[in-house]
Structure 1
């Protein structure tokens, strides 16, 4: 996902630079990824228009990156499948084995309990 996917919808991204979602979105953007804020308030963050839901995003999304508590995260995996995302990423501490099973059964790759900033250095030829 880190190498092949360009457009990342970040669920829970607000304009608060103290939040982890903001820092990771900025990290992804600095590495050439397009970041799409998905938040009920639909804020513009890091220069990108936000949307209240994944269904509101009017263009294809490659990865849905979820910054929500485990008990609320599964619905976003389901929404990611529904919009045709190529992958789902649950951040550190976000676990939902049932959502993983549903997403995998739909043929959509998913990772849980890790962070792009942690995984990026493992890419061949990457510069962290």
Structure 2
């Protein structure tokens, strides 16, 4: 059985003044949630296969080109971690607050693009929040 969603865990304090605490648990890193980090290879031979491509393979690893945050851009490799699980706490808390979710666990689908985490309730594809 393939699990295609993440788990959003929401915890609310009895004093609701501070809003919910929330985090995301990843059942297994996929293309939609993979974290990409700059390739640290001294001489990385990654080159796009065509002018419109941001993907390449070099020294046996899949690479993706990112042009934000640096004047010249950089090639990145998958870290093996889930971007949403490592960096999605603010999006998770905002998502829980906007939907008035109580304490508990909720299945959500996740899309991460390297700087944004988008959450959608697994049973309600029309609801989404980006952070």
TM-score, normalization: structure 2? 0.21
| TM-score for the superposition, normalised by structure 1 | 0.21
Q: Which has the higher contact order (CA 8 A, sep 6+)?
A: 2
More helix by proportion, 1 or 2? Answer: 1
| Higher Rg of the two aligned structures | 2
Question: Which protein is richer in strand relative to its size?
Answer: 2
